[in-house]
Chains A and B, each alone.
Chain A
Amino acid sequence: MKIVVCVSTVPDSTTKIKVGGSGKSIDEAGVTFIINPYDEFAVEEAVQLKEKNTGEVIAVSFGTDRAKEGIKKAFQMGADKGILIKAASDDFDSYTVAKNLAAVIKDLSPDIVLFGKQSIDFDGLVVPKMTAEFLGMPSVNVVTKLELNGTDATIEREIEGGKETLKAKLPLVIGAQKGLNTPRYPNLKSIMASKSKPIEEKAAIDEPVKSSVLEMNLPAAKGQGKVFSDGAANVPELVRLLREEAKVI
């Protein structure tokens, strides 16, 4: 079974983000970059599929050299090969990413392509779907369960207030949601083995962006809270503020 897992590399989720000098991107000084957390579910699923069905897992990423971090983590979790589609600069959008991923993945002719449902940096939510469209494959996102029987897939995905069960044929694109599996701690054996797994670099295709960033701003700082300390006597005022100011009741 040929399994492709697409990974992106994002600032650590505990990073205190600052806007950089250009006003269009973040200040990367002191930022630790990690594999996109949702991609860990995709990698785990990919490695489990390999363990059940034999085959190989190829981790693919689009980005600058920094994107190797995500591929290395996929190696440590059990991916076999890595491909970095090397962006010439940081100026790319979801369309460019999907177009490039699709071009490389098409040549690999995989049975299944796994993504994290979204990356936690830009939260675009579109790359898995767009890539699937460019590949001409069916796709299901926000997946919490995946079962394969030959080329038939049964998939559960989260929907508002419940779940939906779908069927689809391989080859197929899946976007992994938390709950699909429990990502493993890479053991020392696979960490040491990952050192000798090569990352193949490919040049990105020259695809103009469809959208570009004008400016980037941090959310407004939280205002001071209001403290009521007179017990029951404050309730009418509290209710009024919740209704008229906070507009939550």
Chain B
Amino acid sequence: MSKSDYKGVDYYNLDDLYADEEKAIRGTVRDFVDHEVIPIIEKYNQEMKFPMHLIPKMGELGLFGPTLPVEYGGMGINNVSYGLIMQELERGDSGVRSFASVMSGLVMYPIYTYGSEEQKKFWLPKLATAEKIGCFGLTEPDFGSNPGGMITKAEKVSDGYLLNGAKMWITNGTIADVAVVWAKLDGKVKGFLVEKGTKGFSAPETKGKLSLRASVTSELVFEDCLIPAENILPKSSGLKSPLSCLTQARYGIAWGVIGMAMHCYHTALEYTKSRIQFGKPLAAFQITQEKLAYMLTEITKAQLLDYRLAQMKDNGTMRPQHVSMAKRNNCELAKTIASMAREMLGANGILDEYPIMRHLNNIESVKTYEGTHEMHTLILGEDVTGFAAFE
């Protein structure tokens, strides 16, 4: 009875490749999204609020940091399962998926990878249950695609580190209990944990967003913010540390946006089958069928790209450039599919009765954050030519 009628899109029988627990995890998140996210999300999106009440439920389901080992509060799941979680969450909303992505890929991953044993033991189990919320600060007002130019700096003082600078476009910033902040210490990028309430630290919310409205976006401001010496991430070293976190987040996006594309395709398919014009369903027109065939084919290609990416991530052969290809391709197709679906629904496509316009607005952010389309193009370009166009 808790089953969803939504069956996803599986034209190439990928379910034959997924293990029992991978399908079960997807099923649980799908049910959660059907019952807890979709019925309420339009309201939160319009009111520009994040549905805070979902956080403990997602924690109880085990959706934060699930690939980490059990001893740190993780679930020890593989990257196919993780990808399927992201796919289902983003069918609900990019803001909800972003919350989970940030917790797993941008907060728990760096603490697990670059943190001390004490930091890992203290923070990870609390983040896994969402008793504590985290955010990640890398981008600055003047340094987006070029994070290496960051101005935020840390200075060693007798009782810890003094942070000065500002970060921008930070998901969860205002609601976070802990921020993973990247700053230059003696010219070299290092990670620091800044706790909510630390003197000299504020996180005002960004207003006026027309995209990712059901998500908290903030600025992080550090003015002579003194943090204890033990709050440095000891194993972090240089720009490659935060970039490795972005690889995790981009991986989640590459899967997540397929969920969005599936939702738009599914909505357009059902709508055009039932909407009658000139005495027959829109779906009976060749021009509609061409669009549906395109959408289905692109979704299927993206699924195959992600499935192979997951295998490579699990067996340790995945490179960041592989993730760039999937993030770049899948965001592009999700944007195209959302836009096509909007047109196929005609005037109804702009109403909040359908998810299309919200997804279409959201993909503008998702295509831009965690590396713009252009940056991923240049990353792939550098990988095959050996010439870095952005240096």
Contact = CB atoms under 8 A, between A and B. Distances in A.
Interface of A: 12-14, 34, 37-38, 40-41, 72-73, 76, 178, 182-183, 185-189, 191-192, 194-195
B75 A189 contact: yes
B372 interface: no
Given A72-B20, A194-B21, A183 B75 contact: no
A34 B20 CA distance: 12
28 contacts: A12-B3, A14-B5, A37-B1, A38-B1, A40-B1, A72-B20, A73-B24, A76-B24, A76-B28, A183-B1, A183-B2, A185-B61, A186-B24, A187-B28, A187-B60, A188-B28, A188-B61, A188-B63, A188-B77, A189-B62, A189-B75, A191-B28, A192-B21, A192-B75, A192-B77, A194-B24, A195-B20, A195-B21
Contact of B1 (A14, A76, A178, A185): A178
B3 A13 contact: yes
Interface of B: 1-3, 5, 7, 20-21, 24-25, 28, 31-32, 60-63, 66, 75-77, 81
Given A188-B63, A188-B75, A189-B75, 12 more contacts: A14-B5, A37-B3, A178-B1, A182-B2, A185-B61, A186-B28, A187-B60, A191-B24, A191-B25, A191-B28, A192-B21, A192-B77
Contacts of B25: 188, 191
Contacts, number: 54
Given A72-B20, A185-B61, A192 B3 contact: no
B62 A188 contact: yes
Nearest to B1: A37
B38 to A, nearest CB: 14
Contacts of B61: 185, 187-188
Contacts of B3: 12-13, 34, 37
Contacts of A38: 1
A37 B1 CA distance: 5
Nearest to B75: A188
Contact of B28 (A72, A182, A185): A185
A189 B1 CA distance: 22
